[in-house]
Amino acid sequence: MQHNRAAGLDRELKKGSAELLILSLLEDQSRHGYDLSKLIEARSDGVLKFRVASLYPLLYRLEKRGWIQGRWIEKAGQRRRRYYKLTPAGAQILKSQRSTWRAFADAISRIAGIDHA
Amino acid sequence: MPSWGEEIRRRLTGLRLAPAREAEVVEELSQHLEDRYRELCLSGVDEARAIRDSLAELDDSDLVREMAAVERDYAIEPLAIGGGAPAGSARILAGFWHDVRFGARLLMKDKSVTVVVVVTLALAIAANTIVFGLTELLWLRPVPVANAQRLVAIFASDERSITSRDPLSIPQYRDVVRQAAVFDSVAAMVGRQFSLTGADEPQPVIAVLATANFFTTLGLDPVLGRLFLPGEDAAGRSNVAVLSHRFWSARFHADQDVLGRTLILNGTPHTVVGVLTPSIELGSLSVVDVWIPLDTASSTTRQRDRDIAVYGLLRSGQTVVSANADLTAITQRLRKDYPVTDGHLQIHALSMRDANVSPDTPLLLTMAGIVVGLVLMLACANVGTVMQARASARQREIALRLALGATRVRLVRQLISEGAFLGVLAGLVGVALAAAAVPGLRMLTSDPYTQTLDINGTALSFAAVLSIVTPILFGVVPALQSSRPNLNEDLKETARIGPSRRLHHRRSALVVTQVAFALTVLIISGLVVRSVFARGRVPLGIASNDVLCVRVRLDPPKYVADESRVRAVDAMLARVAALPGVDAAAATARVPVFDPEPQRQFTIVGRPPAGDVPWAVEATMTPRFREAMKLPLLDGRSFNDDDRETGARVALISREAGKRYWPGRSPIGQRITLLNGAGESADAPITIVGVVDDVKGISVTEPAPPRVYVPLAQRVSESVVVVVRTSRDTSLMAALIRSALRGEDADLALSEIRPLDAMLDTRLFQPFHLVVALFVGFATIGLVLALTGVYGVAAFSVGQRKHEISIRLALGATSTEVTRLVVARSFRPIAIGLALGAAGGWAAASLMRGLLFGTTVLDPSIYITVIGVLAVGGLAASLVPARRAAAADPAFVLKQE
């Protein structure tokens, strides 16, 4: 049951709401692509998984829209990595998407009686 | 562990990403797979599975599609550090565009630098394009006739003559036709003013009389009807006329039915048989109205009527050199056969290209070419300074990139692309500037041919070549230098207190070059401009202000006998003299200085012939001519109303004639006999009654020729110029004079009534307005470029040494000491540049010795002036940044460091 629910939610997320996830995760700090994929997987207890083939095109699209910005950053003793951070435009979008998503989630729980706490 | 990069690159192949972008994507995705693989391995998964799972991350049918959608128009992050040029032509091209775009973006960011560079180069390109356009138009472009390549112009010269391109006489032409073996045909022509009567008011027309073979010799075609037939120039058959295209269009409205119409020229009817192609309407031929046949069979005067222009069509295989050998042999025979008239003759040929320009023009164009070439080098040196300043500012960046593995080729290519971008931009602006200047330059010249100056395809190609070459001149050298830096030194640059000795020398060399080139430009321009102005200050011997001239033709059938012409002139002068405001009215056959005048040989009665036969310019005048022209009488008496056709034959001579032929004694009362064209004394002896001051001949740069004046009444001609001195407004007087002349004879053919001032200006100075404008323009550009260049170098060098200067100030140096230090450093290269420039100026001036007039190759006033201007300007230009440096707060500067 949980698996079915997760699969459904996964599809839903990937269809229209993946962007919200990425933007939320970049709200507090810059992160690189692998970090993002791990966080999504960890915070959803392994329910949500982003593969390279879907994650990076999404990142590049968001970057192209000017919502996030990627920069190569070198840290001591490490290879350089490309870190993404939220741009002011991205922050604005996150804010509006968040409220939309809340309304959507509320509507679903009212109709289906799902307790999504 | 597999090579993740290769796997990813394989999957992205179809996307055709830009190389830099692809490298970036591959790097990022590889890292992700690498991390995933390591994590799987650490969690105990066996290696094969870990690899499989990692690669599965790429398995998504949407990858390429998604990436393609996103990557379209993806803005590439500028210049990935390190790495060589990617292989493959497409990638090289992509790299090139990348470089150009990157360069453009960089230059747009540095807008003020870009504007300075583009304007500097554009000015130089514009100046070069204009000079090239003039050279192409005046010297390189072939004359627009079919036989241009085989055509030569044939001239006579005489060692006593003031020009070396005299026309021939008809008998001399006949000798060339008979004796020359190198020509397929030899043609002749001469321009004359005719009066066209029959229709409305009589109209003066310019006719060219040409031999029947003239058009076939040049290779000209009619646009309507036919041209002359063989034999049509024989006496009795010559009553045909060919119209110029311009005259046909203006007077006959290009009417096709003009053929067969009759034109009455000087009372003789001519039947129109054709209309000539307009392609020949260039230069002096653009004013021709009608062409009629020239009868060369009857004239016998060898010297007096030397006025025909002769053209030869070389046989195939013959050259100008072989033609001249042939003509020299003919000349030798003529000298022997006609020692009196042709004793000093030399007939010679010039290619049409050389014949079509004045002898000075090629030299003048060469000097203009040298000047604009130097201006271009100056501009390049200037831009080089700016580019080097930028390159130095980027020295650390470049050193870093090299240290990280970027190849030299890659860096040089980047710097050259920036140069190419600037060059193309400057080329476009330069062509626009040149095109904008052309209408102004056209207005400065009265020469109809020069007025066709245009920035045509050839000039555009030239400008395009310059735009490509200049970036190489200023871009490649700094590029090569900055790409071979001393990494250690450059990375440590900030640790040192001043720029390297190498940089210092390079900058000094730039200042030396700029000052030297600018000084050479200023010296050449100064000498040329001074020569032109010196022409303007030459005393002509006549006062041309407040004088009006009008040419009157006294042609048959109304005026046949000399008596009728003399009577008409007397009557006209009486009417004009009676007008209010007329101070003096006179007549002459030709206006001195303005018109070419004939030379006559003469013998002195009582003196046995010895050596060269005396000669003088023969002029005619009525009694009040001296008064009208303000020509002073130095000795004896002037002409009076008793000096008529029936009176005793008298003459005035010029001071030069007296000095030359009666040295140390008075010529008054001496008698001379003028010789005719065949060298025989046909006329009665003439008594010299007075001496007048010298008057220049047609070339004001030559000494005044000896002159003999005879009364107009004793030698009247068909064409007379009425000369009127007036104290009233000349335009009002012109109308009054015209109606007075018409009152005497309503059918008189009159030319336009013009002030003598304006006529002389057109002939003597207007041809040089363009020259002055060009050289003054070039000198100004040269000076401004040199001073901004010196300023630029000084400012840059002060900027580089601000650390050192601050330390000096902090240690107690006064600002005056610092200023002196900085200026002193600029002084040495400026002084060396001035010395080299003076030498360059002297060398260039020696080349143009033939152009100089009223000045010398080493004219001290020019050298002192321009050296002074450049020295003061140069030091002032280095003083500005020096004072700024001295005024800086050392604590602030040192803290910044």
pLDDT tens sequence across B12-39: 877 777 778 888 888 899 989 988 899 8
Tell me how far apart the 2 most distant CA atoms of chain A are, in Å: 53
User: In which band, very low, low, confident or very high, does the pLDDT at B101 lie, cut at 50, 70 and 90?
Assistant: confident
Whether the pLDDT of residue B88 is over 50: the answer is no
DSSP B476: I
Q: CB B59 to CB A51 under 8 A?
A: yes
In the block, tokens 């993404």 appear at: A84
Q: What is the pLDDT of residue B314?
A: 95
Token duo for residue B885: 């440096």
Mean pLDDT for the stretch of residues B389-394: 69
Name the residue among A34, A51, A54 with its Cβ closest to that of B31: A34
Write out chain A residues lying below 8 Å of B63, CB-based.
53-54, 57
Give percent above pLDDT 70 in chain B. 89
Residue A69 lies in a domain: yes
| Residue B893, H or E segment | helix B890-896
Q: Are residues B414 and B347 in the same domain?
A: no
User: In which band, very low, low, confident or very high, does the pLDDT at B585 lie, cut at 50, 70 and 90?
Assistant: very high
CB distance B598 to B765 below 8 Å: no
Whether the pLDDT of residue A17 is over 70: the answer is no
Q: CB A53 to CB B70 under 8 A?
A: no
Structural domain span for residue A69:
2-110
Distance from CA of A40 to the nearest CA of B (A): 14
Whether the pLDDT of residue B316 is over 60: the answer is yes
Distance from CA of B106 to the nearest CA of A (A): 20
Q: Are residues B173 and B241 in the same domain?
A: yes
For chain B, which residues lie within 8 Å of any Cβ of chain A, measuring from their own Cβ?
24-25, 27-29, 31-33, 35-36, 56-60, 62-63, 66-67, 69-71, 74
Whether the pLDDT of residue B80 is over 60: the answer is no
Q: CB B71 to CB A60 under 8 A?
A: yes
Q: Are residues B340 and B366 in the same domain?
A: no
Nearest to B502 by CA among B377, B416, B392: B392
Residue A117 lies in a domain: no
Residue B78 lies in a domain: yes
Q: Are residues B182 and B70 in the same domain?
A: no
Q: What is the pLDDT of residue B152?
A: 94
Q: Are residues B620 and B730 in the same domain?
A: yes
Q: Are residues B155 and B27 in the same domain?
A: no
In the block, tokens 């002074």 appear at: B868
Q: CB A53 to CB B66 under 8 A?
A: yes
Q: What is the pLDDT of residue B476?
A: 64
Distance from CA of B34 to the nearest CA of A (A): 10
Q: Are residues B662 and B597 in the same domain?
A: yes
Report chain B's mean pLDDT, rounded to a whole number: 85
Gap between the Cα atoms of B515 and B831, Å rounded: 9
Q: What is the pLDDT of residue B620?
A: 95
Three-state SS at B68? helix
Residue A27 lies in a domain: yes
Number of domains, chain B: 4
Q: Are residues B370 and B473 in the same domain?
A: yes
Structural domain span for residue B99:
4-109
Report chain A's mean pLDDT, rounded to a whole number: 75
R_g of chain A computed on alpha carbons: 15
* Domain stops at, among B56, B78, B109: B109
User: In which band, very low, low, confident or very high, does the pLDDT at B806 lie, cut at 50, 70 and 90?
Assistant: confident
Mean pLDDT for the stretch of residues B567-587: 95
Name the residue among A33, A53, A61 with its Cβ closest to that of B60: A53
Whether the pLDDT of residue B92 is over 90: the answer is no
Q: Are residues B350 and B367 in the same domain?
A: no
A82 touches chain B (CB under 8 A): yes
Gap between the Cα atoms of B543 and B546, Å rounded: 8
Residue B261 lies in a domain: yes
Three-state SS at B525? helix
Number of domains, chain A: 1
Q: Are residues B790 and B833 in the same domain?
A: yes
* Domain stops at, among B109, B128, B160: B109
Q: What is the pLDDT of residue B132?
A: 95
Residue A115 lies in a domain: no
Residue A43 lies in a domain: yes
Give percent above pLDDT 90 in chain B. 43
Q: Decide which of B366 and A111 is more confident.
A: B366
pLDDT digits (tens, 9 = 90+) for B821-867: 888 888 889 999 999 999 999 999 999 988 898 899 999 999 999 99
Residue B553 lies in a domain: no
CATH number reported for the structural domain that contains residue A14 in this entry: 1.10.10.10
Residue B702 lies in a domain: yes
Q: What is the pLDDT of residue B543?
A: 93
Nearest to B342 by CA among B331, B352, B326: B331
Q: Decide which of A106 and B340 is more confident.
A: B340
| Residue B376, H or E segment | helix B361-393
CB distance B25 to B92 below 8 Å: no
Residue A83 lies in a domain: yes
Beta-strand relationship, B707-711 and B615-621: parallel
Whether the pLDDT of residue B243 is over 90: the answer is yes
pLDDT digits (tens, 9 = 90+) for B611-629: 778 999 999 999 999 999 9
Mean pLDDT for the stretch of residues B133-159: 87
Write out chain A residues lying below 8 Å of B28, CB-based.
33, 56, 82
pLDDT digits (tens, 9 = 90+) for B259-297: 999 998 888 899 999 999 998 887 778 889 999 999 888
Q: Are residues B161 and B299 in the same domain?
A: yes
Angle between helices B19-42 and A33-43 (to 10 degrees): 40
Gap between the Cα atoms of B445 and B457, Å rounded: 22
Q: Are residues B474 and B579 in the same domain?
A: no
CB distance B517 to B378 below 8 Å: yes
Residue A60's identity, in one-letter code, is Y
Q: Decide which of B292 and A52 is more confident.
A: B292
Write out chain A residues lying below 8 Å of B35, CB-based.
34
Residue A90 lies in a domain: yes
* Domain stops at, among B308, B336, B355: B355
Mean pLDDT for the stretch of residues B388-415: 70
Whether the pLDDT of residue A91 is over 50: the answer is yes
